Amino acid sequence: MTDPITAASAGISLVKGAADLSRKMYELWKESKDHNVKQQLSEMLDQLTVLKQQAAALEEQNRELKEALRFKSDEYEFKNPFYFDKNKPTMPLCPKCFTEKRIAPMSQTWQGSGGMYSKCLACSTIVEINKRGNERSGQEFELGGGPEGWMAR
């Protein structure tokens, strides 16, 4: 399987190479006085335009696949009720956003009438961390422990 970064670089090089070739062919077309040569260059330019569009579509598909793989990797782990980036284990991520392939941090916890809560900073989803009377209905957090303001208990 090809490395996604190598594939992306190859795709970008392909598009740039096609654009350079298009410019050179267009210059030849402008300079040419021969109608048959102009016709052939025009057809090749049309074909090259189609190839550039296909290369751009493949580049977009590659980017989408790379992004999808990111969420299936072992970079993240689920600790009820949040996802965590293993490189930032004290910053909980929104479970709703994560299922939609977005990375969004949760707010600091606050005490409500029914328990502890946290709010997604991107989609505003409120997640109940634990209920009063329940020892643990989810992972409990308290302020402190780093720049993210979170520390697992």
pLDDT tens profile 39-51: 888 888 888 888 8
Mean pLDDT of 53-80: 81
Specify the pLDDT at position 69. 72
Give the model's pLDDT for residue 131: 56
Find, among 54, 151, 153, 64, the residue nearest to 108 by Cα: 151
Model confidence band, residue 26 (pLDDT cutoffs 50, 70, 90): confident
Task: Give per-residue burial for 9-43: e unless 16+ CB within 10 Å, then b.
Answer: ebbeebbeebeeebeebeeebeeeeeeeeeeebee
97: nearest Cα among 74, 123, 127, 71: 123
More confident residue, 130 or 86: 86
Q: What is the predicted pLDDT for the residue at 35? A: 85
Q: Which residues contact 19 (CB under 8 A, 6 or more apart)?
A: 52
Centre a 10 Å sphere on the Cβ of residue 106 and count the other Cβ atoms it contains: 27
Q: Which residue has the higher pLDDT, 68 or 118?
A: 118
Residue 147 has pLDDT above 50, yes or no: no
Q: What is the CA radius of gyration of the chain?
A: 26
More confident residue, 153 or 119: 119
Stronger pLDDT, 67 or 153, i.e. the higher one: 67
Average pLDDT over every residue of 27-50: 86
pLDDT value at residue 6: 65
**Residue 136's pLDDT is what?**
39
| Segment 138-142 mean pLDDT | 42
